Structure 1
Amino acid sequence: MNAIIAQPKDHAAAILVIDDDANNLAIVSSLLQEYSYTIYVAEDGESGIRRALLTRPDLILLDVLMPGIDGFETCQRLKAVEATRDIPVIFMTALAEMDQKVRGFDAGAVDYIIKPLQREEVLARVGVHIHLRHLAKELQETNASLEKRVEDRTASLASTNDELQKEIAERKLAEEALAIKQEQLEALNLSLEQRVIEEVEKNLQKDRLLFQNTRLAAMGELLNNIAHQWRQPLNKIALLIQGCLYESNEGKLEHESFKSCVNRCMEHITYLSNTINSFQSFFMPEGEPGKFDPCETVEKSLALVRSSYEENGISVRIMNNGSVPMMGFRNAFSQAVLSILNNAQQVLLERGTPQRLIEVECLYRDGKNIVTISDNGGGIDEKIIGKIFDPYFTTKFKAQGTGLGLYMAKMIIEKNMGGRLSARNTQAGAEFTIELPLPDS
């Protein structure tokens, strides 16, 4: 099957790649050139249309989201021109919703490739549609040849009945060949779907590993915060015990003084015990969604790390403007919030921001619980703002970060809870917005 999907010299096939991201153009071009395809590139819809009219490629790979005219309009304009109407178009997009796919097929596309691009899927889908294109051309040429021959025979009136029967037989053979090729294509499509299913399963396994790695990283951060939470109470207990010992050695230890010391020690010990319970519940697995209030969960999450923030001179304000209880995964939501808070803390410390401030606002609007987390750290570089949710993307040294925190926060909010996580720059810094639709809304 690979000989059909990734045929290296399949009629010297030419492919036009239209994408405004130079990195994507380089990746796709490099991948396809390995199989001796002739590659043309364009960085927007207008230049892509001009290049298609000039080169007449066998296949067009078209990005959906581009400046100027987007992929849908570009495809419609290509299909409106006789010279490019029959060139198959495959969309490359991160938009996986069904209505987006339907819109693409209505525009004239023949297939979709979902970003991030998978090497085997790209080669498989490109190979199939290149092969289909060549089969279509062969069939068109065959039919045109047969029609011409029949026309010549009829015009000359020199053919005999045997010759006419021969022409009919040739057409029948061509139809039988077409039927055989159609069966081959159907089998190829079935095999392609199986390979896509296998690739999806591999990606799911990678996602599970990413979740586990991020959970371990979060556990390490929380253990560090336990040290911050426990240090002051333990110091107080030590001072109380030393004070009792000193009074005892001096013969000044009275019953009421000793009782007061014991009571204060027990208060600190109870606080330490409650802290352990809070951290333990944070990592408790959730089999089923439960009812929780997003703002209360944010407050409890912040309580786990507040000591670390205070030590670093970071003020955190929580404004509850009307969030409502909802069904969902409380602990997973808490982990996503802590990932965003930790990211803000790291930015404030790295940039040495004076009067460091993080603000969290919780509200209910249009059937959604909305949580915004903003800081005054100067914002996100516009060159990388579109990549901050990519797995393993980090601006820190490898020893300082895994690049998984924001990626996993987005996966938790969007895949586990059916919500949306986005980021933008404000005048003061960065703002992350979590939108959680209520199931009954």
Structure 2
Amino acid sequence: MNIKEELMITANDLENITILYAEDDFQIQEGTVQTLNLFGIKVISANNGLEGLELFNNSKQNIDMILTVIKMPKLDGLSMIREIRKTDKFIPVVITTAHQETDFLKTSIDLNVSAYVLKPIDIYQLRDSLIKAIEPKILKDRLIEKHQLMLTQSRFATMGEMINMIAHQWRQPLAAIGTASFNLKYKLQTHKFDLNTKEGQKEQASFFEKKLDEIEYYVQNLTATVDDFRNFFKSDKKIVKKTINEPIENSLKIMQKSLDSNNITVITQLQSTNIINIYENEIMHVILNILNNAQDNFLENSKESMMININTKDLQDTTQIDIFDNGGGINDTIIDKIFKPYFSTKKEKNGTGIGLYMSKTIIEQNHQGKLNVYNEKDGVTFTITLPTI
């Protein structure tokens, strides 16, 4: 399905929505409800504006649209809408009316009425008006759903990268634990200590204590690694106040073994002291994504000296992070496309094409900052600016 098809709203989109319908004429109400049911629409009926307002206030989270007449006892339709607009400025509203006065049209515009249908009601005109009215809400829901799907895909992709990083982090301590346990076993099997003497007993105790201390140290190292990764994937989303340097350092802590094993040098100049409001794990997600892309590029285009520079500094109202790598830069023909969803230069390596899109979303929508990229020298720089408190 292409983008144009995704954005098309049809009668099928009316199925399973819930409409609050206010109409004081019982026969018209009954006939209209039957028509709405034919479209698959659920209807909550009110006999006047006051009853409609009460039903809305009690069930607003379940109501997708308002359909109402103007003239009703106790509270007219426009007054009902005016009260509803005090708590919900965007719920779609369609009015059925036999009136076409200028005053009504002006008031309906002021109340953000989506459409109106003249009486006697034409079924197809009503259907088309409902489709037109619900369209912005459906498109918004689809965009939110698409964004959530991309976020999930991005997190799964990052999780795969994290598993590789855990392997790098764990390789050395696991090897050290294996060596220590082998030495203990070997010393026992070969009777290297003379346990008939106090000196031999003391020597064995000292050796065992040393090796067990080593094992304990490396187990703690493994536990700390697990905690680092578990904290990164915590689902709770809380604003924290801190400098940008800490999430950068935590990101490097997670990825350092992978970078070292690939002979990639990281140079940092973290000079920012500004306190900023951030979602820390989201910022780490962005940093790790940029570092991973740099590493992938280095591995694809072998280079003798591979280097990443990370600098932070304070400007007047912002904190700036520059991440530069000397991996040759990004082709000028695609550099303007790299933040678009599903655009990837790594398709042969199962690149998702959503990492940089999500990074830009995190920085610009969730943090009201800016994420830009430009080529310089023999590499590329990603620049992040975040507002300070």
Do they superpose with TM above 0.5?
Answer: yes
Q: Any idea what the Cα deviations from partners look like across 1:271-329, whole Å, max 9, x if unmatched? A: 11111111110111233312232111111111111111111111111111224232220
Corresponding residue for residue 230 of structure 2: 280
For residues 244 and 427 of structure 1, the distance between their equivalents in structure 2, rounded to whole angstroms, comes to 54
Corresponding residue for residue 221 of structure 2: 271
For residues 147 and 5 of structure 2, the distance between their equivalents in structure 1, rounded to whole angstroms, comes to 18
Match of 1:248 among 188, 203, 219: 188
Match of 2:156 among 198, 216, 220: 216
Q: Root-mean-square deviation (CA), in Å?
A: 2.8
For residues 142 and 149 of structure 2, the distance between their equivalents in structure 1, rounded to whole angstroms, comes to 11
Verify: 1:225 aligned to 2:165, yes or no: yes
Verify: 1:356 aligned to 2:306, yes or no: yes
Task: Give how far 1:123 is off.
Answer: 10
Task: Give how far 1:118 is off.
Answer: 5.1
For residues 299 and 289 of structure 1, the distance between their equivalents in structure 2, rounded to whole angstroms, comes to 18
1:213 match: secondary structure: helix
Q: Any idea what the Cα deviations from partners look like across 1:198-234, whole Å, max 9, x if unmatched? A: 1121011100011011111111110111011001111
Judged with a 3 Å threshold, the aligned counterparts in structure 2 of structure 1 residues 193 and 258 are, in CA distance, closer, same or farther, namely: same
Verify: 1:322 aligned to 2:269, yes or no: no
Instruction: Please tell me whether the aligned partners of residues 9 and 131 of structure 2 are also in contact (alpha carbons under 8 angstroms).
Output: no
1:352 match: secondary structure: coil
Query: Residue 359 of structure 1 aligns to which amino acid in structure 2?
Result: N
Corresponding residue for residue 241 of structure 2: 291
Query: Residue 387 of structure 1 aligns to which amino acid in structure 2?
Result: K
Judged with a 3 Å threshold, the aligned counterparts in structure 2 of structure 1 residues 203 and 260 are, in CA distance, closer, same or farther, namely: same
For residues 296 and 6 of structure 2, the distance between their equivalents in structure 1, rounded to whole angstroms, comes to 38
2:347 match: secondary structure: coil
Task: Give how far 1:197 is off.
Answer: 2.6
Instruction: Please tell me whether the aligned partners of residues 328 and 378 of structure 2 are also in contact (alpha carbons under 8 angstroms).
Output: yes
Corresponding residue for residue 373 of structure 1: 323
Between 189-198 and 199-208, report the one with greater CA deviation.
Answer: 189-198
Corresponding residue for residue 139 of structure 2: 199
2:236 match: secondary structure: coil
Task: Give how far 1:193 is off.
Answer: 5.3
Alignment of 1:382-393 (within 5 A): 382-393=332-343
Instruction: Please tell me whether the aligned partners of residues 380 and 425 of structure 1 are also in contact (alpha carbons under 8 angstroms).
Output: yes
For residues 263 and 368 of structure 1, the distance between their equivalents in structure 2, rounded to whole angstroms, comes to 47
The number of aligned residues is 271
Task: Give how far 1:192 is off.
Answer: 3.8
Q: Percent identity?
A: 32
Instruction: Please tell me whether the aligned partners of residues 9 and 135 of structure 2 are also in contact (alpha carbons under 8 angstroms).
Output: no
Match of 1:332 among 275, 279, 282: 282
Judged with a 3 Å threshold, the aligned counterparts in structure 2 of structure 1 residues 366 and 246 are, in CA distance, closer, same or farther, namely: same
Q: Any idea what the Cα deviations from partners look like across 1:157-212, whole Å, max 9, x if unmatched? A: xxxxxxxxxxxxxxxxxxx9998xx99x9548986453123112101110001101
Q: Any idea what the Cα deviations from partners look like across 1:43-73, whole Å, max 9, x if unmatched? A: xxxxxxxxxxxxxxxxxxxxxxxxxxxxxxx
Structure 2 regions of 5+ residues with no counterpart? 11-98, 109-113, 117-127, 194-203
Match of 2:176 among 236, 255, 267: 236
Judged with a 3 Å threshold, the aligned counterparts in structure 2 of structure 1 residues 120 and 216 are, in CA distance, closer, same or farther, namely: closer
For residues 386 and 192 of structure 1, the distance between their equivalents in structure 2, rounded to whole angstroms, comes to 35
Query: Residue 308 of structure 2 aligns to which amino acid in structure 1?
Result: I
For residues 198 and 332 of structure 1, the distance between their equivalents in structure 2, rounded to whole angstroms, comes to 28
Between 342-351 and 321-330, report the one with greater CA deviation.
Answer: 321-330
For residues 216 and 303 of structure 1, the distance between their equivalents in structure 2, rounded to whole angstroms, comes to 20
Instruction: Please tell me whether the aligned partners of residues 286 and 331 of structure 1 are also in contact (alpha carbons under 8 angstroms).
Output: no
Corresponding residue for residue 302 of structure 1: 252
For residues 255 and 177 of structure 1, the distance between their equivalents in structure 2, rounded to whole angstroms, comes to 99
Judged with a 3 Å threshold, the aligned counterparts in structure 2 of structure 1 residues 289 and 375 are, in CA distance, closer, same or farther, namely: same
Q: Any idea what the Cα deviations from partners look like across 1:354-380, whole Å, max 9, x if unmatched? A: 200011101111211111111001111
2:328 match: secondary structure: coil
Judged with a 3 Å threshold, the aligned counterparts in structure 2 of structure 1 residues 387 and 178 are, in CA distance, closer, same or farther, namely: farther
Instruction: Please tell me whether the aligned partners of residues 423 and 431 of structure 1 are also in contact (alpha carbons under 8 angstroms).
Output: yes
TM-score, normalising length: structure 1: 0.57
